[in-house]
């Protein structure tokens, strides 16, 4: 077990709705990154939070937003859901600010289906 | 668009044989290369983090090398075992962290 937990594990939403996914980081980690993995693809970087501030963003529209809380847990919010948002969403926690040099530990993901 | 390429996409290897696969990444703004093993129904598990050109890392029968000048890393598995069946992901830190699509390894008994 990595110590990173995500909730819920599965979710079905209707197009146009909003969704919030949650991630509890591994103890002591201050950086969380979110990824989207569509079927047959590698994970795509959405954004990263370091000490409650967004610290880098991938090529995702503004309807993908996030929060990191003082206890370093995190949320991913997606507004106006589209069918293409159906994917596995992974969060990963790490110690370093860059998120690149330190090991990242992944949660088991949330499987989102938009119908 | 920065791309991390992994090859092959899929690989079938006889138990006991050795194998290797490749991760190619853009060499500009590079600061780290990660390898993960992702077994079905589990979270990706970190194998190695490498940062310096010429780095070599080893964990049991699995090892990896890094060439930052030409932008590639190799992952080697010696004496494949059934438990090695998984998808192997590499990710390059080049500003954002960019993942490849993975190499799916199947070990045949």
Mean pLDDT value across chain A: 88
Q: How many CB atoms lie within 10 A of CB B61?
A: 13
Of residues A32 and A114, more confidence is placed in: A114
Q: In chain B, which residues have their Cβ closer than 8 Å to the Cβ of A2? A: 43, 45
Mean pLDDT value of segment B64-82:
96
| Smallest Cα distance from B61 to chain A, Å | 20
pLDDT class of A1 with cuts at 50, 70, 90: low
Q: In chain B, which residues have their Cβ closer than 8 Å to the Cβ of A106? A: 36, 43-44
Confidence (pLDDT) at A50: 83
- Omega before residue A8 within 30° of 0, cis: yes
- Omega before residue B8 within 30° of 0, cis: yes
Confidence (pLDDT) at A109: 93
Check whether A98 has a pLDDT greater than 60: no
Check whether A5 has a pLDDT greater than 90: yes
Q: Which of A2, A33, A100 sits opposite B31 (nearest CB)?
A: A100
CA distances to A4, A105, B3, B26, B43 from A10, rounded to whole Å, are 16, 20, 29, 35, 15
The rounded distance, in Å, linking the Cα atoms of A54 and A65 is: 10
- In this structure, chain B runs to a length of 109
Mean pLDDT value of segment B31-35:
90
Confidence (pLDDT) at A100: 54
Q: Which of B43, B49, B101 sits opposite A42 (nearest CB)?
A: B101
Listed ranges A15-29, B36-50, B54-68; the one with the highest mean pLDDT: B54-68
Give per-residue pLDDT as tens, A26-81. Answer: 877 888 889 998 887 878 889 888 888 887 888 899 999 999 998 889 999 999 99
CA distances to A36, A111, B70, B90 from B24, rounded to whole Å, are 21, 29, 9, 9
Best to test chain A binding among B48, B90, B99 (most A CBs inside 10 Å): B99
């Amino acid at each position: 077990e990595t110590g990173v937990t995500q909730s819920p594990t599965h979710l079905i939403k209707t197009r146009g709705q909003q969704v919030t996914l949650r991630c509890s980081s591994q103890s002591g980690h201050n950086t969380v990154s979110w990824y989207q993995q569509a079927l047959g693809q590698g994970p795509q970087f959405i954004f990263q939070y370091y000490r409650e501030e967004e610290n880098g963003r991938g090529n995702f529209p503004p309807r993908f937003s996030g929060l990191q809380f003082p206890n370093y847990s995190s949320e991913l919010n997606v507004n106006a859901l589209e069918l293409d948002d159906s994917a596995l969403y992974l969060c990963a926690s790490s110690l370093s600010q860059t998120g690149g040099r330190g090991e990242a530990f992944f949660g088991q993901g949330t499987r989102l289906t938009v119908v | 668009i920065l791309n991390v390429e992994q090859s092959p996409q899929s690989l079938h290897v006889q138990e006991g044989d050795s194998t290797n696969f490749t991760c190619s990444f853009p060499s500009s703004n590079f600061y780290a290369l990660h390898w993960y093993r992702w077994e079905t129904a589990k979270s990706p598990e970190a194998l190695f983090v490498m940062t310096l050109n010429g780095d070599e890392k080893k964990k049991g029968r699995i090892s990896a090398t890094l060439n930052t000048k030409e932008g590639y890393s190799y992952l080697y598995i010696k004496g494949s075992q059934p438990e090695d069946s998984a998808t192997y992901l590499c990710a390059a830190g080049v500003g954002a962290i960019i993942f490849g699509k993975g190499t799916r390894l199947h070990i045949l008994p």
